[in-house]
Amino acid sequence: MTNKLKKLTGNVLETSSFLKSVAALKNDQFKSRLFRNNVRNLLDEEIGQLQKQGNISHDWNAILVVEDFMTTGIFNSSFYGKCRLGKFDGTGPAKDGPWGLPAGIYRSTVVDSEIGNGCIIHDTGVLANCVVRDSAMLIGNGSISASGTCTFGNGIEIAVGNETGGRDIVSYADLTIPVAETIARNRSDKDLLKAYKDFTDEYLSRCSAPLGYIGEKAVIKNTGTIEDAFIGDHAVINGAVLIKNCTILATPEEKTEISHGAWLKDSCVQWGSEVTSMAIVDKSVLCEHSHVERHGKVTMSIIGPNSGVAEGEVTSCLLGPFVGFHHQSMLIAGIWPEGKGNVAYGANIGSNHTSKSPDQEIFCGEGLFFGLGSNIKFPSDFTGAPYSIIATGVDTLPQRLEFPFSLVNKPARLIADISPSYNEIFPGWVLSQNIYSVRRNEGKYKKRNKARRSEFEFSVFRPAIIDLMIAARNRLRGAAAEREIYTDSDIPGLGKNYLTEEKRKTGIESYELYIEYYALMRMLERITAMTAGKSATSLKGIYGDATDDGQWEHARKVLAGEGYTGRSVKDNLIRLMEILESVSADTYRSKERDDIRGGKIIPDYADVNTLAGNDSFIKETIEETVELKERIQSIIADI
């Protein structure tokens, strides 16, 4: 295994709770997988009592039971093949919510299966070739079975991006977005790909088992067909149509739910996720705390933590965390591991077919917002334009866009010698006009994050984004000559859009303000760390002395490169207070604009909306600004 892959996968082959559970399924050296050798044959009187209670078996001697087995909880059921039964006393620790059904096996057929202590199995047509752990509940189901060669939806080749292949990612239950991104984006690294194949081959070997698995305190109710499935401890299956060749992972605190008409096949669903309300998931991986609902359809895709798909379609995509997809829309062949974006109603992001082959794709970029009814033509690459907005109804041509925080809107006018299909771009517009959304989302994602195994960078203004902003600003500055209209031939990175001179200048201003904001905020953090418990009288060397702090080293480089080190520390701190006031005011104004417009149109707008002055995030921003200024003033007083 290469170091790059090892760093991403860690010791999952040894630590995976899923693989450990499967290993127990494969262990056939004892009489029972659940009870080891602590089982016995039924006594004659027990067989007689079971028969009186309406139970049948072609071979009662093939049934082994625990030492303290009781017949009191088994009625009107059929047993075939080698079955292993725990203790059911007719009450038991397991209860099905308000129903309070007794533990035991009632009106069900059991074939070559093991059933743990205190389980509730009522009205299940067939339970075949499965291990059911303690206190699980199976109520009102059709068939739950395993073929004898289960891989539980692992080892599926998922063709993300190019639907014809080329970026295939072999699935496994513990798959993460960083691993998927690395494999999808490094196709020329043959050593890496070989190492990944070896790794997934080994994983597949370890997760292959002869039996299906239903975990401790798992609940399966009113479900039609479950076949070759691993249903993890505490998972909830309620009213699903089909679960075939799947892994469902869960914990007591992260109950995964598959319910109300859901249809799953050849897929892995991780902890705390939900598939419900007639959603379809096929040949896919849902990472922890993701969800698909309201007829949403996910095919041949990997959905990142905290992301959700509702009503729309996602096909051949790699979606990162916190992607919102709440309405009827389409995303096909998208590479979006950075996530944190939104797909609005009616957005068609799927022009991947050239009439020859469905081999085109899109790289979406962090925080991108696809507006209502937008139509995105492929191939496209927006990774250089994080946190940009494709406005409502915009049709974009195939392009590479490299201006962060931009607005792409329909052209305000037709311009001679420029295609009418070109849109107008406003570089840095989100910074100057909609900073509320950017800063609010930082906190929103942090508060809404439920994932426990994935790490996220919530800060928007961080080195990678700042570098893109600096490069974009430099390209705007570097225009060969001032002119009324610019295109990609004049300023690289504009894509199939035109830029006016006015918006070129405002774009430069927007980028420069937030580049400076970033650098000076990092400087403040560095000063705070340097002066912890000490006086700020001496900050000598803060600009020039190298450290082992990568974040600060990047900011120090920006300070020097932008000329901010030409100012004293005190002057930079004073300047930071000015910027903090400006950012706070811009945050307020970006929300206030909506209030003013809404009030002019909707008579009672103020009665049903939270206005800027009462907005909790605005209040937090103002309070934070006051606190930061007080801290800065205290430092200045010590210098």
Residues in contact with 235: Cβ distance below 8 Å, sequence separation at least 6, in sequence order: 215, 218, 219, 248, 249, 250, 255, 256, 257, 258
Distance CA 41, CA 34 (A): 16
Name the pLDDT band for 537 (thresholds 50, 70, 90): low
Q: Residue 317 is which amino acid?
A: C
Asked if CATH classification 2.160.10.10 holds for the domain at 40-147+210-430, the reply, yes or no, is: yes
Say if CB 130 and CB 146 are below 8 A apart. Answer: yes
pLDDT at 535 over 80: no
What number is the average pLDDT over the span 425-429?
98
Average pLDDT over residues 359-365: 94
Which pTM value belongs to this model? 0.95
* pLDDT at res. 97: 52
Q: How far is CA 43 from CA 40, 47, 57, 67, 517, in A?
A: 9, 6, 14, 11, 80
Residue 326 confidence (pLDDT): 85
What pLDDT shows up at residue 100? 72
Q: What is the pLDDT of residues 142-175, one digit of tens each?
A: 999 999 899 999 999 999 999 999 999 999 999 9
Residue 192 main-chain phi, psi, to 5 deg: -65, -45
pLDDT above 70 (res 51): yes
The whole-angstrom distance between residue 113's C-alpha and the CA centroid of its chain comes to: 35
Q: Tell me the C-alpha distance between 508 and 471, whole Å.
A: 11
Taking the C-alpha atoms of residue 464 and residue 412, their distance in angstroms, rounded to an integer, is 32
Residue 190 phi/psi, 5-degree rounding, is -65, -35
Summarised one tens digit per residue, pLDDT across range 315-326 is 999 999 999 988
Residue-wise DSSP of 408-473 = EE--SS--TTS-TTPEEEETTHHHHH-HHHHHHHHHHHHHH---SS------SSSHHHHHHHHHHH
Q: Is residue 488 predicted with pLDDT exceeding 90?
A: yes
Average pLDDT of the chain, as a whole number? 95
| pLDDT value of position 536 | 62
Percent of the chain scoring above 70 in pLDDT? 98
Rounded Cα gap, residues 359 and 351, in angstroms: 10
Q: What local confidence, expressed as pLDDT, does residue 350 receive?
A: 87
- Span 368-385, average pLDDT: 97
Confidence at residue 255, expressed as pLDDT on a 0 to 100 scale: 95
Angstrom CA distances, 337 to 302, 330, 362, stand at 9, 17, 12
Mark residue 386 as left, alpha or beta (left: phi above 0; alpha: psi -120 to 50; beta: remaining).
Answer: beta
d(CA 208, CA 26) in angstroms, rounded, equals 8
b/e per residue, 583-604, with b = 16+ CB within 10 A? bbebbbebbbeebeeeeeeeee
Phi-psi region of 64 (alpha: psi -120 to 50; beta: other; left: phi over 0): beta
Residue 99 has pLDDT above 80, yes or no: no
Q: What is the mean pLDDT of residues 25-43?
A: 96
CA end-to-end span of the chain, whole Å? 53
- pLDDT digit string (tens) for 246-279? 999 999 999 999 999 999 999 999 999 999 999 9
Q: How far apart are CA 64 and CA 32, in angstroms?
A: 8
Q: What mean pLDDT do residues 391-401 have?
A: 97
Answer whether 472's CB lies under 8 Å from 511's CB. yes
* pLDDT value for 90: 72
Query: In the chain, what are the domain boundaries?
Result: 40-147+210-430
- At residue 293, does pLDDT exceed 90? yes
Q: Is residue 236 within 8 Å of residue 254, measured between CB atoms?
A: no
**Residue 91 pLDDT:** 65
State which amino acid sits at residue 123: D
Tell me, what's the pLDDT at 426?
98
**Confidence grade of residue 501 (pLDDT, cut at 50, 70, 90):** very high
What is the average per-residue pLDDT within 585-603? 95
Say whether pLDDT at 584 is over 60. yes
